[in-house]
C-alpha cells in the first residue's frame, strides 16, 4: 500500500524462477500445522503460567466476535486494492455502517439494519471511487477525507436523530442510539456442553482444543456465518472467475487490461463500492451484534486494523482471515480486561523473539538479530519482575500486536503492482 505518486503503472516484473512471482504459497496441511503449533504454544503458556483464560471458550468466542468486523474491513480493502485503489477510508465506511445499521435496526428489525449498514458503507465507497477513479484525487487524501466526513456526519445526525422523540424515550442520546433486537445465534446442542466439561479439566492441549472449538460453536451469530461465507465467495469470485481476473488485472496493469478490452473504470468502481459495502457490514456487525447500539467512536480504529490484516495476509483472503483472527484475539484480551492473560503471553513473545533473533544471526543479519535479542531480554525481565500487566497497556494490546506483526511480516509482502497509482482512461490505446 503506497501513496499515489505515479500516474503510469510500471511494466510487469519478471517472474522469479521456481515460484509464482517470488511468493510463498502455504498448502492446507502446512496451514493446519501452523495452527496446531500455535495452539500447542498457547497450551504450554497456560500450563506454565496458570492463565486459564488464554484458551477458554469465552476468550475464543470474544475473539471471533472481534475478528469479524476486522476481517470484513480487511476484505473490503482487499477488493479495492486488488483493483488498484488504496482505501484508507475503510474506517469512515465502517463508521457509516455502525450509524445506519443502528438507526434502521432499532426502528425496524436488525436485518434491515444490516442492509442499511451495507448501503451506508457503499455510499462511502462510491464517494471514494468518484474522487479517485474519475477525478484522480490522491487515494490517501480521499480516504482520510472520507474518515473525517463520516465522523462529522454521524456525530451531527446522532444528535439530531437519537436525542429527540421516540429515540430519546427508548434510551437514545447525542452519542448513542436506542438498542436494537438481537440477531439470532446458533449453538451445536450437546457438543458445546461436552466440550465445556472437557475444558474444565484443564488437561494439557486436550482442554485447550476443547476451549477453542467450544468458543467457535457456542452462541455464534448468524451474521458471523454470513461473514465466513463472504470470505469463501471472495476467493472464488476473484480467483476462479473471468470477472475476478479482469478486476485483478485493473490492479496489476490497467494499461494492458484496457488494451485487451477491459473497462478498467467499471471494474475499479465495482471493487471500491463493494469495498465500502463490506466495511459497512463490519460496522453494522459492531452496532447490531457486538453491542446492539450505536456508540460514538465505536469502531475504535478497526478499519485501520482491518487494513493491517489485509497487508499481513498478502492481499489474499486466507491470510487475511488468519490476520483478522490474530488481531481479534488481541482485541478480545483488552475487552475482557485480560491483564493476567497478556502477562502470560509475554512469555510466548520472549520465545518468538528469541527464535527470530537466532534465525537472523544464523542468516548473518547481525543488527536485526541483536535488536530482536535485546527486546526479548527486556520483555523477559518485564515478565519476571511483574505479576500482571497494567490496564493501560492491555487497552493498547491490539495496536501493539498490529505493529509487531506487520514489522515481522513486511519482508514477504507483495502488493498489486498498480495499487494506489492514478490511471486515466485511454492510456492503453
The pLDDT tens digits for 198-228 are: 999 999 999 999 999 999 999 999 999 999 9
The answer to whether residue 81 sits within a structural domain is: yes
pLDDT of residue 411: 62
How far is Cα of residue 138 from the mean position of the Cα atoms in its chain?
Answer: 24
Check residue 22 and give its pLDDT: 44
Query: Is 236 in the same domain as 365?
Result: no
Q: What residue numbers bound the domain in which 140 lies?
A: 49-333+398-410
Write the DSSP string, 76-123: HHHHHHHTT---TTHHHHHHHHHHHHHHHHHHS-HHHHHHHHHHHHHH
Answer for the pair 210, 217: CB distance below 8 angstroms, yes or no.
Answer: no
Are 261 and 385 within one domain?
Answer: no
**194 and 294 housed in the same domain:** yes
Same domain? For 273 and 375 the reply is no
Tell me, yes or no, whether 384 and 402 share the same domain: no
Residues 6+ away with beta carbon under 8 Å from 406: 308, 311, 312
pLDDT at residue 337 in the model: 67
pLDDT digits (tens, 9 = 90+) for 18-47: 344 444 556 677 778 888 888 899 999 999
Q: 351 and 290 in one domain?
A: no
Contacts of 33 (CB under 8 A, 6+ apart): none
Q: What is the dihedral of CA 217, 280, 321, 415, to 10 degrees?
A: 180
Q: Domain check: are 304 and 347 in the same one? A: no
User: Has residue 426 been placed in a domain?
Assistant: no
Residue 36, in any domain of the structure:
no
Shared-domain flag, residues 199 and 268: yes
30 falls within a domain? no
Helix (H/G/I), strand (E/B), else coil: 189: coil
Q: Which of 66, 102, 72 is nearest to 295 (CA)?
A: 102
Which of the residues in the chain have pLDDT under 50? 1-8, 10-23
**Helices of type H across 19-89:** 28-49, 57-82
pLDDT tens-digit readout, 2-16 = 444 444 454 444 443
What is the spatial distance between Cα 394 and Cα 375, in angstroms, rounded to a whole number? 19
In a domain, 137, yes or no: yes
Residues 229 and 310 in one domain: yes
Residue 113 contacts residue 171 (beta carbons within 8 Å): no
What pLDDT is attached to residue 336?
78
CA distance 91 to 95: 6
- The number of distinct structural domains making up the chain is 2
Spatial CA neighbour of 103 closest among 126, 90, 120, 78: 120
* Start-end of H helices in 108-205: 110-129, 139-161, 165-169, 191-199
Strand 220-221 versus strand 185-186 pairing type: antiparallel
- Residue 173's φ and ψ, nearest 5 degrees, are -155, 175
Separation of alpha carbons 129 and 338, rounded Å:
41
Residue 428 located in a structural domain: no
* pTM (two decimals): 0.90
Q: Are residues 252 and 385 in the same domain?
A: no
**Do the domain assignments include residue 421?**
no
C-alpha cell at position 2: 503506497
287 found inside a domain: yes
Same domain as 230, residue 136: yes
Amino acid at each position: 500500500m503506497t501513496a499515489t505518486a505515479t500516474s503510469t503503472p510500471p511494466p510487469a516484473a519478471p517472474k522469479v524462477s521456481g515460484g509464482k512471482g517470488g511468493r510463498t504459497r502455504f498448502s492446507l496441511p502446512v496451514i493446519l500445522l501452523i495452527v496446531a503449533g500455535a495452539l500447542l504454544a498457547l497450551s504450554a503458556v497456560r500450563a506454565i503460567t496458570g492463565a486459564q483464560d488464554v484458551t477458554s471458550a469465552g476468550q475464543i468466542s470474544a475473539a471471533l466476535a472481534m475478528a469479524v468486523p476486522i476481517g470484513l474491513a480487511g476484505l473490503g480493502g482487499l477488493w479495492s486494492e486488488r483493483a488498484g485503489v488504496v482505501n484508507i477510508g475503510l474506517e469512515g465506511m465502517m463508521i457509516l455502517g455502525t450509524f445506519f445499521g443502528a438507526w434502521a435496526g432499532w426502528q425496524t428489525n436488525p436485518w434491515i439494519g444490516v442492509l442499511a449498514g451495507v448501503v451506508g458503507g457503499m455510499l462511502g465507497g462510491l464517494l471514494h471511487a468518484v474522487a479517485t477513479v474519475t477525478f484522480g484525487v490522491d487515494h490517501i487524501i480521499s480516504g482520510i477525507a472520507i474518515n473525517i466526513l463520516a465522523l462529522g456526519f454521524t456525530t451531527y445526525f446522532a444528535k439530531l436523530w437519537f436525542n429527540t422523540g421516540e429515540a430519546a424515550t427508548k434510551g437514545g442520546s447525542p452519542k448513542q442510539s436506542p438498542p436494537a433486537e438481537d440477531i439470532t445465534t446458533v449453538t451445536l446442542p450437546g457438543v458445546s456442553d461436552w466440550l465445556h466439561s472437557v475444558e474444565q479439566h484443564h488437561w494439557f492441549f486436550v482442554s485447550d482444543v476443547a476451549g477453542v472449538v467450544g468458543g467457535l460453536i457456542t452462541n455464534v451469530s448468524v451474521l458471523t456465518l454470513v461473514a465466513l461465507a463472504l470470505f469463501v465467495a471472495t476467493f472464488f469470485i476473484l480467483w476462479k472467475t473471468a470477472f475476478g481476473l479482469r478486476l485483478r488485472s485493473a490492479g496489476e496493469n490497467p494499461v494492458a487490461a484496457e488494451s485487451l478490452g477491459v473497462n478498467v473504470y467499471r471494474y475499479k468502481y465495482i471493487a471500491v463500492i463493494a469495498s465500502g459495502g463490506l466495511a459497512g457490514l463490519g460496522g453494522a456487525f459492531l452496532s447490531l451484534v457486538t453491542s446492539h447500539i450505536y456508540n460514538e467512536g465505536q469502531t475504535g480504529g478497526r478499519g485501520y486494523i482491518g487494513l493491517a490484516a489485509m497487508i499481513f495476509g498478502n492481499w489474499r483472503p486466507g491470510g487475511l482471515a488468519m490476520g483478522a483472527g490474530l488481531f481479534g484475539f488481541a482485541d478480545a484480551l483488552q475487552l475482557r480486561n485480560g491483564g493476567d492473560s497478556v502477562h502470560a503471553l509475554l512469555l510466548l513473545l520472549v520465545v518468538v523473539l528469541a527464535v527470530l533473533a537466532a534465525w537472523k544471526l544464523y542468516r548473518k543479519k547481525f543488527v536485526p538479530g541483536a535488536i530482536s535479542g535485546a527486546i526479548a531480554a527486556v520483555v523477559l525481565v518485564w515478565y519476571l519482575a511483574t505479576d500482571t500487566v497494567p490496564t493501560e497497556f492491555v487497552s493498547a494490546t491490539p495496536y501493539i500486536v498490529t505493529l509487531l506483526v506487520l514489522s515481522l511480516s513486511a519482508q514477504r509482502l507483495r502488493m498489486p503492482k498498480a495499487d494506489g497509482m492514478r490511471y486515466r482512461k485511454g492510456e492503453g490505446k
